[in-house]
Chain A
Amino acid sequence: MIVPFNLDIPLNPPSDYPHPSLFLYPYDVSKTGDTKRRLAKIETWDAPFDLSIAPLLIFISLIPNTLVELRSTDSTRTVVLWIGIKLFTIIIWFAPLYVLHGTVKGFKRREINLFLGGIIGAILGSISGTYVFYAANLLNVNHPSENLQRRIISTAIIGFAWLPIGLVLSQSYGNIKKIAYGKEGSPHSLIRQNFRKTAFYNSYVRKSHDSIQTELSEISYNLANELTALASSESMGLSNAEKILEKLSTKSFRDLSNRIDKDVQAIRQKRNLRLRILTFRNYVSVILISVYKDMKKNPLNPRIFTYVIVVCLLGTQIRNNESVFHIFVFSSLAAAVTYAMSSLIVFYWKKTEKYFFEFSIFGLILNILFVYLIQEYMRIHGYDTVLVGQRAKTTFLDVLLFFFIYFLGHFGTAGVTATVDIFRVKEFSKIAHAIEAEMLRDQKRLIGRRWAVHIHGKIQTRISSAALAIQQATDKGDGSMILKTIDSIRFTLAEPSIGLKQVDRALEQEVQTRFAPWSGLVEYETSIEPELYSLDPVRVRVVGEVLEELISNAVRHGGATQIAIKLSMSRSSGIVLYAEDNSTNPPSLSTNRSVGIGTTIFNAASLGRWKLERDQVRGKTVFNMTISSDINFDLER
């Protein structure tokens, strides 16, 4: 059994590089070619009737209706039959919609589309109501107080309410989808098709590095063991040199290197999957944020909620022959709760903005509780509500119903907001590009620059060198040289992670460490404000990384031979880095919009607050950056 060394090789990722969090890429990529083209398409897209998700919307819209029916039943058989009838109703609802799709899409005005949607919904609702009535009669599961007229009217009203909302939702859905995915598919299909693969990707990098570590440990352990055995054997000497040379074949390490190459390629291929899944997550965020943007603009206008709740309850009321007065009281109170919560969040918007999700959940719970209390109040005071008699058992379904209505109502509002507010969607695009940049950076940093370089460059080189040294020693007949070489290579194999470790330094020392290797190629001057001498290690490394990129770019791309830097502290904005060099071939890049390792590091360190300019008069290239004081680098990623 092979027992690996207890090696201190960092698993994915190395912890000594600062890693920016996802949202630290504020540069404006919305004006780049592809996004600009997509946005132009969105802004001129005026036909909101996108039926790609109509079946789903209609199916969802039937849930409250089904719940209403469920509470009128008194046996399991009846419940099952009702559900069956409702499922068939879905077909009646959405099949004609596809037929009508082309006709309705022809109207350019939004209002006409919505009105037509309402009419179509009402017609389809009437048809489905009729169908449900006769099907229920046929199966003997009809509601005791129901008749055909009530069924048709109530279902038509609910249909009229739901269909326009479906249209609005589908419009905003379509807009965001087009920007986020182009023609590649919907989030739903991506989730369905790629979830397993994407989940696999998330663990892929870690597994890859884990197995690299294990393999490296095993190879090193075996080789070191064999060398030790040969070196300590009684017959050690020139006679064993040939055997040792054979053992020092680097084939195992070459195989490991090639494995890393393959992993890099595989991860590149899987990058897009992860990008899409993260994009979908942000798509949901756009919708949620839009809810609160709408409340902020119109605190007393969560209109969709009120619209839905009143119409649904009215439809239910007509069907169940309950008190119109009570139902209006009920609706008004529920609406008042919503208004109150909205106003509260908006009033304290600055404080609540960061916690919109938590407030949203809290609001939902509060609303459910309030609905329940209202029903209890009405039941206790003997009103003819849904809680009286046998329907009292279905209180829980009522709560679910209002939970659902509340959520969908706000999503409807979000849809309206998202449709007219392209700004959020633009931001969403930026985030998507940032994720891509981050992924590129991950691959190059984690694998290209660390593991692969280490195993390719250091371990294999040492073993090749050792083989050469033993060959020479054998030719000379120098036994002590062989032993010395074996000791050296055993040390390397016992500590294969050497060279991957980093140490913390003070800022002044870090700056000198970054510049010193370049001396001879470039002359440099540094100036550091004393206040920065006690800078924390994380930001010291950030400055170091930025300097590394700055120097290498100036020398490699600009041919600079002189660089001067000044680091100072600004209380209001953070660490200010000023640099100038005598590049003869200054970069044409004057903004921070391109995506590469260097620009990604600069953007991450400064939240985009950096500028590269050419001073034509002095013949200098000038670089300015403000490193944020409160930047949150996640060192564990």
Chain B
Amino acid sequence: MPSLRVMLIEDDELTRSTVKAALVKKGIDIIFDTPHVADALTFAKKHRPDVAVVDYNLGKGPNGIDLANGLRKFDPSIGIVLLTAFLNPTQLPTQIAKLPKGSKYLIKHSVSEIGVLIKEIEAAAAYMA
């Protein structure tokens, strides 16, 4: 089975580089990582990754859900994994209901257990496969 081609969008540099390194070590092919929504969209249009791992909070402007919906507009088969830091349901963004179908939702704290993230990436990739 060919390794999954994953795109990582996270605005925090440390987190991005750490998660990237951990995924690469586990055999995941991180073909692109960026903090910017616009760059992610441009890249995805050209290279069609299997899965996008997207942080919910990307700073000012669009959030991870906006990006996920933007990606699905031109690539209905792309898998989406949304990362968020919210632990408590009262803090969950109300927009979570607008995540594209088949998207996976992961609390960031679980990311330190990289196996959990890989499992979700594989599940997201299997959505349209």
B16-30 CB mask vs A (1 if < 8 Å, else 0) is 011101100100000
* A296 in the interface (beta carbon within 8 A): no
Interface contact A520-B60, CB-CB below 8 Å? no
Interface size for chain B: under 10, 10 to 19, 20 to 34, or 35 or more residues?
35 or more
* Given known contacts A257-B88, A464-B111, A514-B60, A520 and B12 CB-to-CB distance under 8 angstroms: no
Interface contact A520-B57, CB-CB below 8 Å? no
* Given known contacts A257-B88, A461-B85, A472-B25, A518 and B37 CB-to-CB distance under 8 angstroms: yes
* Given known contacts A514-B60, A518-B62, A521-B70, A258 and B87 CB-to-CB distance under 8 angstroms: yes
Interface contact A469-B37, CB-CB below 8 Å? no
* B14 in the interface (beta carbon within 8 A): yes
Give the CA-CA distance A518 to B58 in the complex, in Å.
Answer: 11
Interface contact B12-A461, CB-CB below 8 Å? yes
Chain A residues numbered 416-462 whose CB sits less than 8 Å from any CB in chain B: 448, 452-453, 456-458, 460-462
* A555 in the interface (beta carbon within 8 A): yes
Task: Out of B18, B67, B86, B95, name the residue touching A465 (CB < 8 Å).
Answer: B18
* A52 in the interface (beta carbon within 8 A): no
* Given known contacts A521-B37, A521-B67, A468 and B112 CB-to-CB distance under 8 angstroms: yes
Interface contact B88-A517, CB-CB below 8 Å? no
Give the CA-CA distance A467 to B113 in the complex, in Å.
Answer: 10
Task: Out of A456, A468, A472, A485, name the residue touching B85 (CB < 8 Å).
Answer: A456
* B42 in the interface (beta carbon within 8 A): yes
Closest to A448 in B: B91
* Given known contacts A472-B22, A518-B37, A555 and B109 CB-to-CB distance under 8 angstroms: no
**Known A468-B111, A488-B14, A520-B38; 9 more pairs at CB < 8 Å:** A456-B86, A458-B12, A466-B14, A468-B22, A469-B17, A517-B36, A517-B58, A551-B61, A555-B66
Interface size for chain A: under 10, 10 to 19, 20 to 34, or 35 or more residues?
35 or more
Distance (Å) between the CB of A176 and the closest chain B CB?
36
A468-509 CB mask vs B (1 if < 8 Å, else 0) is 110110000000000001001100000000000000000000
Binding site of B, secondary structure by majority: helix, strand, loop or mixed?
helix
B61-88 CB mask vs A (1 if < 8 Å, else 0) is 1100011001000000000000001111
Interface contact B112-A556, CB-CB below 8 Å? no
Distance (Å) between the CB of B27 and the closest chain A CB?
14
Task: Out of B15, B37, B112, name the residue touching A520 (CB < 8 Å).
Answer: B37
* Given known contacts A465-B12, A469-B14, A520 and B22 CB-to-CB distance under 8 angstroms: no
* A519 in the interface (beta carbon within 8 A): yes
* A225 in the interface (beta carbon within 8 A): no
* A376 in the interface (beta carbon within 8 A): no
* Given known contacts A257-B87, A462-B12, A555-B66, A513 and B60 CB-to-CB distance under 8 angstroms: yes
Interface centre among B14, B67, B114 (most CB of A within 10 A): B14
* Given known contacts A448-B91, A456-B86, A468-B19, A517 and B109 CB-to-CB distance under 8 angstroms: no
* B125 in the interface (beta carbon within 8 A): no
Q: Can you sample 11 A-B contacts with CB below 8 Å? A: A250-B109, A456-B91, A461-B85, A462-B14, A465-B19, A465-B111, A468-B18, A485-B14, A517-B38, A517-B62, A548-B60
A251-279 CB mask vs B (1 if < 8 Å, else 0) is 00010011001001100000000000000
